[in-house]
Structure 1
Amino acid sequence: MRLSPALFILLIIDFTYGQFEEAVDDSVTLFNGTLGVLEANRSVIQNAQFDWSLGWFRLAGLTPRYKRYYLGMLSMNSAIEGAIDWNRWGGLNDLTRYPDQNEWRGSISYSGGIAGYSAIDPLNMQGLSPLRLTLSRANRSYRNRLMLTTTLQKEAFDGVLSVSHRGANEGYYNHTPYHSTSLFAQARFRKGSFRANGFLINTRTNRLSPEAHTEEVWRLTSPKFYSSWGYQNQDRIPFKQKDHRHLQLQSSLELSYNKGLFRMEGMSYRRSLARHNLSYSNAPSPYPTYYKYLPSYFQTQPFKKARLMGLLDLEGGINFERLYRANQESIEARYYLSSDNTIASENTLGFYWEHQEGLNRLSFRIQSQRENVQFFKQLEDLLGATYYLNYDAFNKVRYDLSSPLQKLEGEQIDYSYLIGGNKLFLGLNYQRRFPKWEFSYHFNYSNTQGRRKGLMKYEFEKNDKKVTSGSIGKHHEILFTVNLSPKHDLSFTGTHSQIPYPLHEHWLNPRVLSLVEVPASQVYRRLLLEYRYRYRLVSFDFYGFIGRQRHLFSRQHFYADADLWANLVTQTIYHPTADNKGWFSNITINLTPEIELSATGYGYMNRYRSLGEGSIHFLPTSSGVITPYSMELLSDKLAVASGPSNAFTIGVRYQHPQYWSFTLKAIGLGGTHLEPEWPKYNREFLEELERYTMAKPQQQQLKPLTTLHFLASKSWKTTFGYLQLFISANNILNRVQPIAGYGSSRLIAAKDYAQDLAQSVFSSKTWRSQGLTYFLNLSFKN
């Protein structure tokens, strides 16, 4: 594993945005202590992730699904959908600014995943000011933010109230409003060895997310282009909104004794998510970005013209008056507003015990989690029409065979089903300390049982028969830490993790209710080396890791032949083996008491080491037989799409004794690969495949991104308390370019394969980086 000097000698500051906010707040403490002396410098990785977030950076290529999240001592990860919804506590920055977390493993108090853990414990919250008021201004997702946090203490009782509002009529991208409110309220009792608390979190967020487009669309528009909006009577109508609502109630009881503690905790949680959108049926696409309305389509199809909607102004929005007229002039064509809805409830009960005997420390947790999630699509607005036609007039088939021919506003369409899951989670952590070294072992076990009822999108008929599925997850970690000298620490961590796929990905083909396939659990093995050096004004950290993943998996559903309803196809792709290795390093040098230089570098490589395996399942024939096909995918040596694989930060920080400071940082991101989109096969393709050569797909790599960040802070002590101003300017060079994306393809016949790959209209779709953004924050605390 070789280190590039250009990436290795790089800079990073000790303050991220949150740390700058607390520059004079010495009373704010981190939450629980963590395992091992190497944890003392954990903010180095957190700061780097903040700097590199412009390029959607993921450490070791891992998404949030591989990390365990805790609120109190309860794990928040969903048994059905995998990860958590970040909007669950969005905006409550005063309480969530300093989580106890590790990016690689668990601790004595918290069981981690392959991506570590992140924990916030309101029961042990300390150091909050009696009053903190924050006003912010930005040009990012929201424009304005107001936060108020207050505390009250009387003898053994204390309380915390925190409220936040973030809003914008238009965020960074054109026509993207943002509105979010959050509330946290806690009552706590502490007396002697006994502690108890109860708290409530209530959040609601309505927002729009950035969109991915082909390079052709970006070239014809602006860097702040957003296509999912329309207008009527001079009013703007953004129709691709996401409406999040969360309500969580939680309480805990903790009793400590001279060698440990016992804790019991319960939680009730309700959430909903509505993804709104403009849909169409028996009519041409209303979206100006539709590939048949773009110049590249007319260049390859010179005798075809744009249909009903015409060649539209890309940035002009969709004229809703034309949609109303189209609905009224036709008995079949329909444009309508719909929403894909998720309504979930969750109840969790957990027990935690921690004990220390001499140099040995042991903790054990058990958690029972019950979760139900209802998925359905709903008609919201028929845009002047009296009904929605549940029928494809062109192909002469119904969309939903179990519903009436006509649907009205407020009714459900396409799908409505419930997935329920019961999850038992066990965690065991052991630590043994010696004068010069330390040993730790972490073990997690999860058993998830799921059930499904109702109508999925492509089913023949509604069937209330329960279909069950289950999965087992196991996670082992062994840690050795050696104190070589007062200057040097060395650590080795071996991890073996069996990670089951979320229940929502278990059902093989939604049209066959009785057919359930449990995907083989991912298996992730990793060896991690950590080295830490501290001497006088120099600190150095190095992380090196090598690992292997097995059973990466993806699945999609599509029609093989549009005119035959029965020809729904499920295509499953397995990549048996992928190998990865990488490193992360930081060096910090304090040149003077005021000036600090630092550098951070990161290198990562993750490639498939075996041929992919494809499995295609056509729906049953009249005899009830499912026809499977298999194929071999030439995916070996392709890179696994996992964000930037190379990154660096170089910066300098100046801290004046009069409580003002500034930081200038140069960052670079590169090595971002996009996952190829495997073609969707029909029967003709499979039958004629032997006549054609399956070439390895071309994998796109995005060009590197380099830019500058600037941060500054000034604090004042007044008669009433502390006043602080924080300023952040990101991407000063205003670099706007692709940062992430995915392959784009359509259902193809074998003879069209090469031709389709050559058309730019079927090229990859990418998200682009935001240009110059700023954040101003003025806070008062006493």
Structure 2
Amino acid sequence: MRILFLALLLGFPSLFLFSQNKTQISGIVVDAKSAQPLPSVVVTLQNTVWMQLTSSDGTFSLDIPDAGEYLLLAHSQGYKDILLSVVVAEGKNLKLGTLALEEDIITDQQSNTIRLLDEEVQDDNGSSENTSVLLQSTKDAFQQAAAFNWGAARFRMRGLDSEQATTLINGVRMNKVYDGRPQWGNWGGLNDVTRNQEFTVGTTASDYSFGGVLGTQEITTRASIFRKGTRITFSSTNTNYSWRTIVTHASGLGTKGWAYVISAGKRWADEGYFNGTTYDGNSVFVGIEKKISDKHSINFSGFYTPNSRGKNSPNTNEVLDLTSSKYNSYWGFQNGKQRNARVKTVEEPIFMLNHYFSINDHTNLQTSVMYQTGKVSNSNIDYQNANSPDPSYFRNLPSYYLSLYGADQGENSGAFTPDLDNADKSRLQFLSNAQINWEGLYRANQQPVLDSNGKITAYTPAQSHYVLYEDRTDDQTITANSLFDTQINANVMMNAGGSFSKLKSHNYQKLIDLLGGAYFEDFDPYYKGSRAQPDLNNPNRKVMEGEAYGYNFNYLTQTFDAFTQFKFMYKTTDFYLAQSFTSTSYQREGLYKNGIYENSSLGKSEELKFENFGFKGGMIFKLSGKQSVTVNAAHMTKAPNLKSSFPNARISNAIVPALQSEVLNSWDVSYFFRSPKLQTRLTAYNVSQQNATQTSFFYAEGIFDNGAGYTATNAFVGQTLSRLNKSNRGIEWSLAYAISSTFKTTFAVAYGEYLYANNPNVTISNDALATVTNPNTIVDFGTALLKNYKQAGMPQQAYSFGLEYRDPHYWWLASNINYLDGRYVDVSPIARTSHFYTNPASGFVFPEATEERAKILLEQEKLQPVALLNFIGGKSWHIQKKYLGLFFSINNVLDTTYKTGGYEQARNANFRQRNQDLASNSPSFANKYFQGYGRTYYVNLNFSL
């Protein structure tokens, strides 16, 4: 690599020379309210190589070789940018005097509101996985619209999930190995200490990581960068929590080289926007930095943000019509209080030590060590030899008596007369018992005590038929990371980094409440004999509260990655080249000897190893001081995530057949125009994903063929999609225009087309097929005809128009109207295979399975477009060197009811059952939907000392 650099230097010597006739632009940057100097403000001349950070007294001085007209940009996190047109005469210095930066409270508070939405969309229900856009507000009108105006409808930038982006804290990667996504709850509620962020879009060069095709997000918690002072925040909202308070104090860097930051907060709700959704979140942060010398500094950051939230159920239209858009089947009253059965809890403290080494004035080395431990759990009700406790279970609804399921389970194709009387009784019964009957569950777990007259006098604990458990993950992660950057000369800069991470992830089922019973038997009621035993080494075990049961295993993973990046900066063109290497290994370690897989469940599995490479590059063409064009392209391979590598990890060491790394290709082209009055960006992009692997689990009826020797046509199965290709392409356009010094208008457009690009292979794992001599339970179902179906879970088109008034006396009002379209329900792949058309009883194709009818049955549902009107506003006051800020927002002002997404239920696994169910006009297994928020508000009051 050194030889390469020497060749570049020798081949282009003239490019590295500076003119001796320098001209100077100087000034001082201050806070608009306090008039105090602002250090570390980035001052640049747009589309040039000239950049400088303001010193501790807020001053800057740029030496430039050429006279002419430039656009000077002053940028600092938490402040509004200043963009000035300056004219420099040859041989004369230009003194700009004082530049006052105004605090950008709108962006600051919007950064808080997106966090409210993020946890809601990261639900674990259904087959559709939705995550928020990256939590970074930039000065780009498109980025603000994507995060703050479209986020409530689950908009995803470029249709990509957050696993395609890299999230870092102090240079350390925070994406989970399990699914590739960050666990936002690990730093939820710490808004004050996570606001220092740098964000790159797409495959643009990042100083901290090679990144993903969606971008990178670097959060910095170094104690010395926080402005000295105390900030107290109090908020009220009606989204997924009701109240929030945060107190943060930063000492600033003292004369002895010490700096510290302390932040603590709490968020809570007895009930959020949806019925029964409780919330309890606490957050604590401690940051301490010691500046040892001018070259060395040590920083410690500690996060602990335990939080729990009650989940909200997806519902069919039948349930929504009977109840309301806020209905949630996951809760019920117990002793007069709401109790949610499905609660997600995150308790994963993070401890991080960073060493900053300034080798010289143009070379830096940052070394970090992170340790993370704790748990993530999702609770639910388990039951044996008893009816489902879910009040919206299909047998409890009127549709059960209005479809063939109420008569003959859909196996016959003859005429069917709906049972209207029982359907009406079912409707009334459901409406009077629409929530979980906790008292009934307790009664089912207890034995009545009778007196001599046969009257019940008391209840005693007996074997539990219902219990509350949690799917528990206890992770221990240690990561070592190093970042190096050096300015090789005036035109060339190099970034490099390496990271090693080791994870031990303990996954098990934990009994947390016997619900009044004495014990719970550890067996699988769907199997008999030894096959019903989760652990043959401890058969017929009576499980008590706090004990593991059902499944118990470890994931063991190691990851090493490294990248290098070279940035070349010249007068009219900049370009960069980057490359990466990643080595990944996965292994499952079973702790139970499962009765179904007695020879392939206990102990360690085969070790999976992947080696992957990435290459990317880009160019910036500086057309003028106001205009530029950028081009970026990338090719990379990525190991399948841990979740998709083991199709039945809870009870088996089996791995996905022919598992491959995912291949990603990306390019984008952007045009920028930026002046003091008008800023606009137009981007065209294309992202191709190939060889992706996805897994899911569901109960399917009529899925297997008796003629092939299988003992049952119904089964709880695992489904794996392999060799799945996706295509994401579209345009992004943003425009911000200052009508006057107080009025500004914004416009943003996202027009995308996100498709499945091929017909992936489908394999089904059925535990019932396993034998002692042949543990292979994977059945190849061939290809699923998914090509040209739409990717689900987000709008593919979004539009926003906004108008903002900002008064010179520090108050403002803004409004925006948003229109979102192209939202589709997630389809069931198994219903697009050839097996779907085969009668499991005879092995022949259903005679009624015509192409015309199949087209109707398998048409992907498109959700109705939605228009959302939002208002925001606020004011700030300067009171004797103290600051009081008020911010409010009202989203979905018109209280529009809309669905944010949904999925097809896969239970009807053959043509006849799906056809008969839908033909009844009251299907038992219709699509399920997630609901969006109606009218919501957010009020924030902060006081800075």
Q: TM-score, normalised by structure 1?
A: 0.90
Aligned-pair CA distance for 1:551: 1.9
Kept after mapping to 1: 8 A contact 2:612/2:638: yes
Distance in 1 separating the partners of 2:145 and 2:595? 45
Distance in 2 separating the partners of 1:644 and 1:345? 36
Please tell me whether residue 716 in structure 1 is matched to residue 877 in structure 2. Answer: yes
Please tell me whether residue 378 in structure 1 is matched to residue 456 in structure 2. Answer: no
Secondary structure at the aligned position of 2:441 is classed as helix
Aligned-pair CA distance for 1:293: 1.0
Distance in 2 separating the partners of 1:565 and 1:515? 24
Q: Given the superposition, is the C-alpha separation of residues 378 and 265 from structure 1 closer, same or farther in structure 2, using an over 3 Å criterion?
A: same
Kept after mapping to 1: 8 A contact 2:398/2:427: no
Aligned match of 2:84: none
- Select the residue among 480, 501, 504 that pairs with 1:349: 480
After the TM superposition, which residues 244-643 of structure 1 pair with which residues of structure 2 at under 5 Å, given as runs? Answer: 244-256=346-358, 257-301=360-404, 311-313=429-431, 316-328=434-446, 334-358=465-489, 359-391=491-523, 396=528, 398=532, 400=534, 402=536, 403-410=538-545, 411-455=547-591, 459-461=596-598, 462-510=601-649, 512-513=652-653, 515=655, 517=657, 519-557=659-697, 570-574=718-722, 576-616=724-764, 619-620=769-770, 624=774, 626=776, 628-643=779-794
In structure 2, runs of 5+ residues without a counterpart are 1-74, 81-99, 109-136, 408-418, 449-461, 705-709
Please tell me whether residue 178 in structure 1 is matched to residue 178 in structure 2. Answer: no
- Select the residue among 61, 72, 78 that pairs with 2:176: 78
Kept after mapping to 1: 8 A contact 2:589/2:602: yes
Q: Given the superposition, is the C-alpha separation of residues 164 and 715 from structure 1 closer, same or farther in structure 2, using an over 3 Å criterion?
A: same
Aligned-pair CA distance for 1:678: 2.9
Distance in 2 separating the partners of 1:568 and 1:727? 48
Residues 294-350 of structure 1 deviation map (CA, whole Å, 9 limit, x = unaligned): 111111145586999993337742222212222235988711111110100111111
Please tell me whether residue 25 in structure 1 is matched to residue 72 in structure 2. Answer: no
Secondary structure at the aligned position of 2:913 is classed as helix
Secondary structure at the aligned position of 1:746 is classed as coil
Kept after mapping to 1: 8 A contact 2:477/2:504: yes
Kept after mapping to 1: 8 A contact 2:307/2:345: yes
- Select the residue among 283, 288, 293 that pairs with 1:187: 288
Amino acid aligned to 1:261? N
Aligned-pair CA distance for 1:401: 5.4
Kept after mapping to 1: 8 A contact 2:146/2:155: no
Residues 226-256 of structure 1 deviation map (CA, whole Å, 9 limit, x = unaligned): 2211223323222211121121111111111
Distance in 2 separating the partners of 1:242 and 1:114? 29
Larger Rg: 2
- Select the residue among 640, 660, 679 that pairs with 2:811: 660
Aligned-pair CA distance for 1:586: 0.7
Q: Given the superposition, is the C-alpha separation of residues 276 and 629 from structure 1 closer, same or farther in structure 2, using an over 3 Å criterion?
A: closer
Please tell me whether residue 97 in structure 1 is matched to residue 237 in structure 2. Answer: no
Residues 165-218 of structure 1 deviation map (CA, whole Å, 9 limit, x = unaligned): 111111111222211111111111223122221121111101123321111111
After the TM superposition, which residues 683-762 of structure 1 pair with which residues of structure 2 at under 5 Å, given as runs? Answer: 685=840, 688=843, 690-691=845-846, 693=849, 695=854, 697-746=858-907, 748-749=909-910, 751-758=912-919, 760-762=923-925
Amino acid aligned to 1:269? Q
Kept after mapping to 1: 8 A contact 2:261/2:286: yes
More strand by share: 1
Aligned match of 1:162: 263
Identity %: 24
Amino acid aligned to 1:377? Q
Secondary structure at the aligned position of 1:94 is classed as coil
Q: Given the superposition, is the C-alpha separation of residues 51 and 720 from structure 1 closer, same or farther in structure 2, using an over 3 Å criterion?
A: same
- For this pair of structures, how many residues does the alignment match? 758
Kept after mapping to 2: 8 A contact 1:387/1:406: no
Distance in 2 separating the partners of 1:363 and 1:62? 26
Aligned-pair CA distance for 1:387: 2.5
Secondary structure at the aligned position of 1:95 is classed as coil
Distance in 1 separating the partners of 2:841 and 2:503? 41
Q: Given the superposition, is the C-alpha separation of residues 291 and 236 from structure 1 closer, same or farther in structure 2, using an over 3 Å criterion?
A: same
Greater length-normalized contact order (CA 8 Å, ≥ 6 residues apart) = 1
Aligned match of 1:238: 340
Kept after mapping to 1: 8 A contact 2:464/2:515: no
Aligned match of 1:36: none
Aligned match of 2:147: 49
After the TM superposition, which residues 203-242 of structure 1 pair with which residues of structure 2 at under 5 Å, given as runs? Answer: 203-242=305-344
Kept after mapping to 2: 8 A contact 1:214/1:761: no
Kept after mapping to 1: 8 A contact 2:208/2:497: no
Amino acid aligned to 2:578? H
Aligned-pair CA distance for 1:283: 0.9
Higher deviation after alignment, 153-162 or 97-106: 97-106
Amino acid aligned to 1:187? I
Aligned-pair CA distance for 1:43: 6.3
Aligned match of 1:768: 931
Kept after mapping to 2: 8 A contact 1:676/1:742: yes
Q: Given the superposition, is the C-alpha separation of residues 136 and 571 from structure 1 closer, same or farther in structure 2, using an over 3 Å criterion?
A: closer
Distance in 1 separating the partners of 2:809 and 2:843? 76
Q: Given the superposition, is the C-alpha separation of residues 206 and 393 from structure 1 closer, same or farther in structure 2, using an over 3 Å criterion?
A: closer
Higher deviation after alignment, 452-461 or 655-664: 452-461
Aligned-pair CA distance for 1:355: 0.8
Aligned-pair CA distance for 1:364: 0.7
Higher deviation after alignment, 650-659 or 514-523: 514-523
Amino acid aligned to 2:430? L
Amino acid aligned to 1:767? F
Q: TM-score, normalised by structure 2?
A: 0.75
Secondary structure at the aligned position of 1:688 is classed as coil
Higher deviation after alignment, 744-753 or 364-373: 744-753
Kept after mapping to 2: 8 A contact 1:376/1:416: yes
Distance in 2 separating the partners of 1:515 and 1:476? 29
Higher deviation after alignment, 627-636 or 109-118: 627-636
